[in-house]
Amino acid sequence: MGRLELIKDLLNERVLQNPRVLRAFKEINRKDFVPADLKNMAYENHPLTLESGQTISQPYTVAFMLDLLEAGPGQKVLDVGFGSGWTTALLSKIVGSKGKIFGLELLPEIYNFGRNNLQKYKLKNIKLFLGSGWDGLPDFAPFERILVSASASKIPQALKDQLKVGGRLVMPLADKITVLDKIGEDNFKTKDHWGFVFVPLIKHK
């Protein structure tokens, strides 16, 4: 399967419905973010394995979550568990030159892999940090959008605190994807989408 075939298949599966997400998928090549020995599988619609038991998420899942996130031009976004850097690059294109993406990754070997991948695109609106998604990045909060690419039993309180009022967080919880909208300082609305599998959100190195 080629790159354009993958995008066509995703459209047929009713994702990439957001025009900015679709444009980002066309501009950012997943092949640039997979390990060298998996390049021939870059456009397959399933997860691919990284070091330390981590994965590059299935294209359908990434497209689905980005559609749900509804990030837009000029927004400040926290990308938790940026892994290969693919979602970070996609988000960079979605928010545009006036937006800012803050990527957070716990494992040093994955952090370095993702950072090296992102350097291929020379994106100027991304800052990367080594740290735990359970802590977030309080020094740079609040964020208008938060995307989490690893699963937990609950949404970390730090991330709820760091989400701007009026903002949205998208995160896997067990075998579902949860959309959390912050409608007041301590007031949240959630919606669940079932049928997904993710690697766990690690607390410590």
Q: Cβ(64)–Cβ(18) under 8 Å?
A: no
Catalytic residue among 52, 57, 92, 97: 57
Instruction: Specify whether 57 is catalytic.
Output: yes
Dump the DSSP string for 165-192: EEEEEEEEETTEEEEEEEEETTEEEEEE
Which tokens in the block code for residue 192? 């669940």
Instruction: Return d(Cα 121, Cα 202) in angstroms, integer.
Output: 28
Nearest Cα neighbor of 74 from 53, 57, 98, 55 is 98
Instruction: With CA atoms as reference, report the closest residue to 83 among 62, 52, 105.
Output: 105
**Length in residues, the chain:** 205
Q: What does the alpha-carbon distance between residue 179 and residue 62 come to, in Å, rounded to a whole number?
A: 14
Checking phi first, is residue 51 left (phi over 0); if not, alpha (psi -120 to 50) or beta? beta
Please identify every residue annotated as catalytic: 57
